[in-house]
Structure 1
Amino acid sequence: MLYTSSLSKLESGWCSLASSDSKSLIKKYLTKGVFGELKGKKTSFGSTLLDCVQSGFENHDSGVGIYAPDAEAYTVFAPIFDPIIEDYHKGFKPTDKHPAKDWGDVNALGDLDAEKKYVISTRVRCARSLVGYPFNPLLTEAQYKEMEEKVSTTLKGLAGDLQGEFYRLTGMSKTVQQKLIDDHFLFKEGDRFLQAANASRFWPTGRGIFHNRDKTFLVWCNEEDHLRLISMQMGGNLGEVYKRLVTAVNDVEQRLPFAHHDRLGFLTFCPTNLGTTIRASVHIKLPKLAADKAKLEQVAAKYSLQVRGTRGEHTDAEGGVYDISNKRRMGLTEYQAVKEMNDGITELIKIEKQL
């Protein structure tokens, strides 16, 4: 049973959220009945309902408001995670099963913009968690160090154009730090939502960044997830970017087993990022479509694409440059997720040319 202090924190946090005007998914689905059912439960890692919901309790302006403190939380606290997953992932029901991993034919994708007129850069990333470790809120300082060691050793084994160097955040020199900031590689300590979820403990211990020599392949270690693997380059050659990511992920997976769930796919800290965990995106210049935002949104919706400003969420499009990515991560394969972005961008370029 939970300690009294944790229970009273849970009780007061729930009452405060329930009486607020929060629009978060946690408020919508953490009903009195569900709360009563889950408040005394624990995973074998020792995580509680409080570990899952503390960020949403503290930040009533959260969109979702829940994180998984370990891989088991998705099962133990399923009565709250399942409806949130179904809502966020547009109808991925508790009876649905995410398909098995399938990268498809890595040679089937090509250059989205052979004329080099529209696509500025292309990026495909995925997140992974290591088996046997909890997620950020429960990791000990020793576990952070152990994971960083395992990850850096594994990445040092990458060959060919993936070969590169791992930079630990701990004791990083100002020169290296500045170099990584200039390349837009360096991540900062978590935002207030992650802070409230207890995801930034022992910072910067156990955190690091790897990149290859060409700066086209990058790995973040223990930022929000255990691993974020990112393939990117200037221009629109999605085929090259995708192939590089697949090669790297398959290589790393042979030496570091990843947390996977039969129904939910790859498991990560945030329930918005399950299944394939794939985000394929381009920075693209569409000046004519930018003048007709409704048309842009209409085409994007047809292909399940998310349109964001140049610098990501809640930013403006500078000079008509948008960040456009696939929205769906669950209920489809890795290849299908990337193909949705491919087809949507192809259509947007076609329309831009006609305007």
Structure 2
Amino acid sequence: MLIKNLIEDTHSFWTEGSGNFPEIVLSSRIRLARNLEEFLFNTSNKENSKGVLKTIKDATSNIESLEFFNLEIFNDLERKVLVEKHLISPGHGHNPQNKGILVNKEGSVSIMVNEEDHLRIQCFGSGLVLKDLWQKCTELDDLLEEKLNFAFNEKYGYLTTCPTNLGTGLRVSVMMHLPALVLTRQTNLILRQLSQVGVAVRGIFGEGTEALGNLFQISNQISLGQSEEEIVANVNLIVKRLVDQEQKAREYLLNKSGLLIEDKAKRAYGILTNAKIISSEEAFSLISDLRLGKTLGMVENLEIKPINELFLLCQPAYLQIISGKEMTAQERDIKRAEIFKEILQR
């Protein structure tokens, strides 16, 4: 079953370590918000959302590259794994009634049905690949628009539940690892500057979440008043500037505190391969230290991909899925340590 593989596989688009600037940019995402013209923009209304779900399921049944799943077939733990893999949002997985997901076999396309909007079309890729993803996502959007009546206004563009998504309905997001900017205490100033130019900075799971492991989501805040191409180009430019700032901060640390950074990376490796108990919060910090050391050439005989996989493997729901049972917090901390040792020493 496709979805079973997506849930259990350690592979994810943000662990591949490919694309442009993979040492700093883990992943890119293009998301389009769309609503159906003939239904209320209220996904919490039972009858309304039921009609939306059936309409979208029927309309997409002959798209061979996508498979439809009703979220109600998944248990709470499985839905949390889909959140941890970024295939659905935390809000989408909270209450599964009359909600669905359309995915492709690689997990690089995920369409949430009845999240905040009727459809949230998402295309993912490893590294900084926004232009390629935009092309892929707009082709999928055109295909869906041939089968569904999207709500559109000549003045305001695509109509959405939240005013910030009006117009293009486009959200461009990039997941970045910025440990050097954090260590050199530049993040607060940079984040304030980004907010002034319409760019949002969030934690690993989006709005309202922490930047665990020095992972930050960078995305546009407004989708009205600019074309899709302008939004993509703007975010792409800002991310490249952040990459340049992070690279310079890493060079500074290498020159001024190289021994300290190497010590932190090798201590992280030692703990991750020898500890018996590791909490998720500690895990994120250690993985960040190890990843920085690897990208600076301080950790040998270890590829970037297994380090990226640790960000997924440390997640509580995923740990329980691969263990085949629900676990207490302490049991998860023990299992996490076992898996880290296995991954890093294989």
Residue matched to 2:148:
256
CA distance in 2: counterparts of 1:137 and 1:210, whole angstroms? 17
Residue matched to 1:132:
38
CA separation of 1:172/1:114 partners in 2, compared to 1, >3 Å: closer, same or farther?
closer
Deviation at 1:216, TM superposition (A): 0.6
1:208 aligns with 2:100: yes
CA distance in 1: counterparts of 2:226 and 2:150, whole angstroms? 19
Contact 1:211 1:219 in 2 (8 A): yes
More displaced 10-residue stretch of structure 1: 236-245 or 311-320 = 311-320
Deviation at 1:187, TM superposition (A): 4.8
CA separation of 1:206/1:285 partners in 2, compared to 1, >3 Å: closer, same or farther?
same
Deviation at 1:204, TM superposition (A): 4.3
Residue matched to 2:178:
286
1:120 aligns with 2:14: no
1:150 aligns with 2:55: yes
Residue matched to 1:307:
201
How many percent identity over aligned positions?
Answer: 29
1:349 aligns with 2:243: yes
Contact 1:299 1:348 in 2 (8 A): no
CA distance in 1: counterparts of 2:120 and 2:43, whole angstroms? 17
Contact 1:289 1:295 in 2 (8 A): no
Residue matched to 1:183:
85
CA distance in 2: counterparts of 1:140 and 1:150, whole angstroms? 14
CA distance in 2: counterparts of 1:172 and 1:295, whole angstroms? 42
Contact 1:326 1:337 in 2 (8 A): yes
Which letter does structure 2 place at the counterpart of 1:145?
K
Residue matched to 1:168:
70
CA distance in 1: counterparts of 2:234 and 2:142, whole angstroms? 22
Aligned length: 231
CA distance in 1: counterparts of 2:58 and 2:156, whole angstroms? 29
More displaced 10-residue stretch of structure 1: 296-305 or 216-225 = 296-305
Contact 1:303 1:343 in 2 (8 A): no
Contact 1:209 1:218 in 2 (8 A): yes
CA distance in 2: counterparts of 1:145 and 1:312, whole angstroms? 27
CA separation of 1:270/1:120 partners in 2, compared to 1, >3 Å: closer, same or farther?
same
Residue matched to 1:245:
137
CA distance in 2: counterparts of 1:121 and 1:145, whole angstroms? 33
Residue matched to 2:231:
337
1:217 aligns with 2:123: no
CA distance in 2: counterparts of 1:295 and 1:175, whole angstroms? 38
Deviation at 1:124, TM superposition (A): 1.0
Question: How does the TM-score come out when normalised to structure 1?
Answer: 0.58
Residue matched to 1:271:
163
CA separation of 1:343/1:186 partners in 2, compared to 1, >3 Å: closer, same or farther?
closer
Deviation at 1:190, TM superposition (A): 6.9
Q: What's the RMSD between the two structures over aligned residues? A: 3.0
Unaligned segments of structure 2, at least 5 residues: 1-17, 250-346
CA distance in 2: counterparts of 1:115 and 1:124, whole angstroms? 18
Deviation at 1:238, TM superposition (A): 1.7
Deviation at 1:150, TM superposition (A): 2.0
CA separation of 1:257/1:342 partners in 2, compared to 1, >3 Å: closer, same or farther?
same
Which letter does structure 1 place at the counterpart of 2:71?
L
Which letter does structure 1 place at the counterpart of 2:244?
K
Which letter does structure 2 place at the counterpart of 1:129?
N
CA distance in 1: counterparts of 2:137 and 2:103, whole angstroms? 13
Deviation readout 1:165-217 (Å, 9 max, x if unpaired):
111124446896576456343456679xxxxxxxx9xx644321111111011
Which letter does structure 1 place at the counterpart of 2:205?
R
CA distance in 2: counterparts of 1:189 and 1:303, whole angstroms? 27
Contact 2:22 2:126 in 1 (8 A): no
Which letter does structure 2 place at the counterpart of 1:225?
D
Deviation at 1:303, TM superposition (A): 4.5
Contact 2:43 2:117 in 1 (8 A): no
Deviation readout 1:83-104 (Å, 9 max, x if unpaired):
xxxxxxxxxxxxxxxxxxxxxx
Deviation at 1:236, TM superposition (A): 2.0
CA distance in 1: counterparts of 2:193 and 2:239, whole angstroms? 9
Which letter does structure 1 place at the counterpart of 2:162?
C
Residue matched to 1:73:
none
Q: Which has the higher helix share?
A: 2
Which letter does structure 1 place at the counterpart of 2:190?
L
